[in-house]
Amino acid sequence: MRFFIGLAILFTGLQSIAYPGIDQCWDINNKPVSIQQTVALGQAAESNIINGLPTILLHPQMMGQYPHDVQQFIVAHECAHHRQGHVVRVHFGGSLPITSEFDADCMAIKTLKDLGLLNAFVLRNIQTFLSSLHADATHPGGTHRAQYAQQCAQ
């Protein structure tokens, strides 16, 4: 769930994938966001702009290791990065505050809630997933993200 500047990476053999309800995603400029699968990815998911098109890239095997509700959360989180303008900003050389991850998590939780896909069991699965994530230069620690997700679900 990080950004990459796409120029250095060749994406071939992209395939569309459906996440019903979640995959209706538009970026900050109201461009439709394409969701594609590729094994040419070092992580489960990332957001990017490819050939001018806002895109979410998913690694099918890495995504497949998560329960379906966590996969939905991940896609909604990536969509939130597009919707909130994070992807465009990074693509054009800007930087993001680390709170961007909390914002994307929170919007994803609210998206699932609005779609009627959030319940206590789903929230627990999402929190377990978030807790497993490590902090780095652009991502806060998973424990904090799990706590914040709880607040967003209220």
Q: Which residues of this chain interact with Zn ion, rule CB under 5 A?
A: 1, 101, 104
Whole-number minimum distance, CB 38 to Zn ion, in Å?
18
Looking at the Cβ atoms of 4 and 121, the one nearer to Zn ion is 4
Q: Which residues contact 54 (CB under 8 A, 6 or more apart)?
A: 27, 31, 32, 33, 34, 47, 82, 87, 88
- Kindly tell me which of 1 and 117 has the beta carbon lying closer to Zn ion: 1
Q: How far is the CB of 35 from Zn ion (least distance, A)?
A: 15
Single-letter amino acid code for the residue at 109: I
Contact yes or no for 105/151 (Cβ under 8 A): no
Least distance in Å: CB of 122 to Zn ion? 19
Nearest-approach distance from CB 131 to Zn ion, in angstroms: 15
**Cβ-based nearer residue to Zn ion, 26 or 121:** 26
Q: For residues 119 and 151, which CB has a smaller minimum distance to Zn ion in the complex?
A: 151
Q: Tell me, rounded to whole angstroms, the distance of Cα 51 from its chain centroid.
A: 20
Sequence length of the chain is 154
Residue nearest to Zn ion (CB): 1
Q: How many helices (H) and strands (E) does the chain have?
A: 6, 5
Q: Residue 98 or 119: which CB sits closer to Zn ion?
A: 98
Tell me the CA distances in angstroms from 47 to 33, 35, 75, 119, 123, one per residue in order: 10, 9, 10, 26, 23
**Least separation, in Å, of the C-beta of 101 and Zn ion?**
5
